Amino acid sequence: MNKVVAVDDGLAPVKNYLSEQGCRIIDIDAAQNQKVDAVILSGMDRNFLGMTDIRIDAPVVSAEGMTPEEIWMTIKQFSRHMQ
């Protein structure tokens, strides 16, 4: 089954790489209304979706300092642990 991943704006290389791996990419704004397998942010200093009380039942990964390949490996590791 293809993974649904919410990816922060400005991370085009990550979006492209994850799409090539078979992931369905959605905007961060859609993550609160849809089940996602992971959320990828450009940095953890961002107030996620502008809200402090939002709950997303998915791993949140900071892309800062990571290659698209490393992010993909992280998503796969989370998937293994959640099964």
pLDDT digits (tens, 9 = 90+) for 30-81: 888 889 999 999 975 555 555 544 567 888 999 999 999 999 999 999 877 7
Helix (H) or strand (E) holding 73: helix 68-82
pTM score above 0.85: no
SS3 category, 13: helix
What is the dihedral angle through the alpha carbons of 60, 66, 72, 73, rounded to the nearest 10 degrees?
-100
Query: How far apart are the C-alpha atoms of 39 and 59, rounded to whole Å?
Result: 6
Tokens of 4: 């649904």
List, in sequence order, every residue forming a beta bridge with 40; answer none if it has no partner: 7, 61
